[in-house]
Structure 1
Amino acid sequence: MGDVTYGACCVDDYTAKALKADLLVHYGHSCLIPVDQTQGIKVLYIFVDIKIDPLHFMDSVKLNFKPEDGQIALVSTIQFVTTLQAVSTELKNSGYDVIVPQSKPLSPGEILGCTAPALPSTTKTIIYMGDGRFHLEAAMIANPKIQAYKYDPYEKKFTFEKYDHDEMQRIRHGEIQKAKKAKKIGVILGTLGRQGSVKVQDFLEKRIKKKGYETTVILLSEIFPQKLEMFKDIDAFVQIACPRLSIDWGYAFNKPLLNPYELSVVLGDVEWTPSNKSPNNAYPMDFYATDSLGPWTPNFKPPAVGECANKPSEGGTFLLF
């Protein structure tokens, strides 16, 4: 098969089964789709542990921050989490207040482009170890009030990173308002690996119909503006593939292209307004988290009897159906 995969969500067990394979070997990513949930085929995850120079990373942190500067959160991709843990221990021994946050089912310190934890108010700094910005941006979106830095282990560069939260939230809020005027909503189920979730699709379809909208289901491996332009009778779309597609590229589509969280705002199941006055109003990055805000995410687990429900925002609402 040998197809390219974009991330841990792209485990291609369906195609492997169609090819009558007995075993699927997936390199490089964490076990986001548990081996007991793949479709009739055994899956072997080969984790990649990239060895880098931890001393240069620690020296970079110590050069830029003092122990009295406040709590530091260390995050990375799965390839560097072993080094991240070692660096965390050494920095703590040097007097630094360091945490390695976890958003289950991900490993401690691991973040994805769609899943990153909301950090405690005691955290003053995020330091991301890795190349590129896609994963780091998830942590920045989820924590708009915390300064973020990136350490590139390949180029050995330590940089201060910025994200235009106001612009992103303004655009997404505008698309949500447009979608509220729609009469017919297209539900796009991503077929690239395991990006799409039938569980989320079923939930959203029921909610859309209950609210009185018409709906059409569309299966796509990749989503481009030209493809969606062909659906003339659809007023807005929700894509169950990669939430960041809507956030990063939604402006390129002529009709609203929402992710499941944004559609849930349209349907009134959760409240969100574009305001960064409080961390409680941050745009959530919890798509694969087990403690996500609601059933518009694939791993959501409703609170047990006696437990407190997850809260979407201060003063917000959360409805279960």
Structure 2
Amino acid sequence: MAASGRVGSVAPVAAAARGPVRHVAQQIPEEILGNTELREAAEALPRNYNFEIPKTIWRIRQAQARKVALQMPEGLLMFACTIADIVERFTGAEAVVMGDVTYGACCVDDYTARALGADFLVHYGHSCLIPIDATQGLKMLYVFVDIKIDTSHFLETIRFNFAAGTSLALVSTIQFVSTVQAASQELRSQYKVCVPQCKPLSPGEILGCTSPRLAQDIDAVVYLGDGRFHLESIMIANPGIPAYRYDPYSKVFSQEHYGHERMRRARQDAIRTATGAHCWGLILGTLGRQGSPRILQHLELRLRALGRPFVRVLLSEIFPSKLRLFPDVDAWVQVACPRLSIDWGEAFSKPLLTPYEAAVALQDIEWQQPYPMDFYASQSLGPWTVNHASAQPPRRGRPAQVGSMASPGHRVSPGQRVPSLSLCCWWLCRVEGTGGGGIGAGCTPGAVWCPVPYGAWCRTVPSAVQCLVPYAARCHTVRSAVCCLVLYGAWCCALPGAVPSAIQCAVAHAAWCHIAPGAIQYAVPYGAV
């Protein structure tokens, strides 16, 4: 979403062949852009802060909103009353300022806004972590609040401190991303400049919980911004790369350091203690959208599969004194902010794990080095992150591609390439003869090709199947049978006494399948067949 004075609207598609309906840019009406009174009112705000007032007014009018909630971090609350006055004056809608603490876009509080009777929410200062079509019963607008700074001083500082030819990665928060991108163009003639992206974030943008892994040939990370919270994220993800910070307000350039060994030791100690826990506590953060019900559900399924008792606790703020009120809980997993455990975990008397650390404690995955900072990353490590593939519903409006999915019981002739299957398939594909390909599968005569969700694959060996499955799930061959522990506690067992060459599968959410000679009969979660 750029600060370009344009907003998205739905345009009709002339022909079905063009695909689904898409969003196109629509110009803000001249009556708003050319409104002298609106421009004069906006001059009460800092000129180097882009609050996108014309676009905000246009979107509120377009939505015919009657009550608008304004949510912003504490650093911008000083401008809230001015913006509220402008909104009420030029839209006729009532404006409400939401004053609760807002740490990031994960704290988008559409639930409270709706409870207050608002039908439109404007969230300032953060990127679009929560899709605007996912808010509850109201329309929404993100305003990044792009901040203009003295770019020339930033560039001179880089040139003074780094020799020509140095490989640099430039990163920042959303307020300064446009400056970082412009600066990268200026520096490319002298340096090897990288503006890394960790989707769904913008190029150059990092969060306190989400940062990209950089190539090993990067000589230094340069962070443009005040404070260390976000910078520490990319430092944790890239412990071997020196990090520097340029403060755009004080114009101070400094090298920053992080206690990687101490952090690793503290987190591994917490995981080790939690491994022997009997009763687990699962905390769902209720500060805006900070908590992820999908991650909570994943944790519940894993603990149930392991026979571990647990209790759910909903909290907007997590304090040691609060958790001490639950003496029977031996270990906690908080689905709120990973940095709470990383930065403050030692302040708690019981282990306070992130969902990733819980996966390590439950032996779903090995300890990762470096520590993964992928909580909102699209290409994340596992279902203990918000945007992992397992949490994404099928995309609507996209026409099906012919031949992109194998039908249940599909037989493959010798030498024929195995058809690709969608990541969401839960069935097995019977392969006869020799064939290969498709998600890393290697097939031998009489073998079973197992396409398992999220990039897991099976490699066949003579009269057996050896499977690499995500999250420490595993398959073991028992004589001519295969017993598979699959993610979420689902399992498949081909029992010696079962129907010849049949596999009986008990899959998560009570789905099951029976494979008999030459056919597959299956029932998939939620009643789909």
TM-score by length of 1: 0.92
What CA deviation, in whole Å up to 9, does each residue of 1:162-189 have, x standing for no partner? 0010000000000000000100000000
Alignment of 1:82-121 (within 5 A): 82-92=178-188, 94-121=189-216
| SS at structure 1 position matched to 2:165 | helix
| SS at structure 2 position matched to 1:183 | coil
| 1:209 equivalent in structure 2 | 304
Q: Which has the higher strand share?
A: 2
**Equivalent in 23, 37, 46 of residue 143 of structure 2:** 46
Name which one, 1 or 2, has greater alpha-carbon Rg: 2
CA distance in 2, matches of 1:265, 1:44: 38
Q: Which has the higher helix share?
A: 1
Q: CA deviation at 1:47?
A: 1.5
Alignment RMSD, CA only? 1.8
What CA deviation, in whole Å up to 9, does each residue of 1:12-49 have, x standing for no partner? 01111112211111111111101011122111111200
Alignment of 1:66-81 (within 5 A): 66-69=163-166, 71-81=167-177
Contact 2:382 2:471 in 1 (8 A): yes
| 1:21 equivalent in structure 2 | 118
User: What is the letter of the counterpart of residue 35 of structure 1?
Assistant: I
What CA deviation, in whole Å up to 9, does each residue of 1:169-219 have, x standing for no partner? 000000000000100000000000111000110011111111121110000
**Structure 2 spans left out of the alignment, 5+ residues:** 1-97, 391-420, 424-437, 441-453, 457-467, 473-486, 489-529
| 2:223 equivalent in structure 1 | 128
What CA deviation, in whole Å up to 9, does each residue of 1:72-91 have, x standing for no partner? 10000000000000000000
Question: Given the superposition, is the C-alpha separation of residues 284 and 134 from structure 1 closer, same or farther in structure 2, using an over 3 Å criterion?
Answer: same
Q: CA deviation at 1:67?
A: 2.3
CA distance in 2, matches of 1:150, 1:221: 31
Answer 1 or 2: higher relative contact order, Cα 8 Å, separation at least 6: 1
| 1:4 equivalent in structure 2 | 101
Contact 1:75 1:100 in 2 (8 A): yes
Alignment of 1:154-233 (within 5 A): 154-233=249-328
CA distance in 1, matches of 2:202, 2:324: 40
**Structure 1 spans left out of the alignment, 5+ residues:** 274-280
User: What is the letter of the counterpart of residue 328 of structure 2?
Assistant: D
Alignment of 1:239-258 (within 5 A): 239-258=334-353
Question: Given the superposition, is the C-alpha separation of residues 316 and 57 from structure 1 closer, same or farther in structure 2, using an over 3 Å criterion?
Answer: farther
Contact 2:149 2:248 in 1 (8 A): yes
| SS at structure 2 position matched to 1:171 | helix
| SS at structure 1 position matched to 2:341 | helix
Contact 1:74 1:127 in 2 (8 A): yes
| 2:154 equivalent in structure 1 | 57
Structure 1 residue 318 corresponds to structure 2 residue 471: yes
Percent of aligned positions that are identical: 60
Runs of 4+ in 1 over 6 A off after TM superposition: none
CA distance in 2, matches of 1:292, 1:7: 20
User: What is the letter of the counterpart of residue 60 of structure 1?
Assistant: T
Q: Quick check: 27-36 or 60-69, which moved more?
A: 60-69
| 1:276 equivalent in structure 2 | none
Contact 1:271 1:316 in 2 (8 A): no
| SS at structure 1 position matched to 2:147 | coil
Q: CA deviation at 1:68?
A: 2.7
Structure 1 residue 299 corresponds to structure 2 residue 387: yes
CA distance in 1, matches of 2:309, 2:108: 32
In the alignment of these two chains, the number of paired residues is: 309
CA distance in 2, matches of 1:304, 1:235: 40
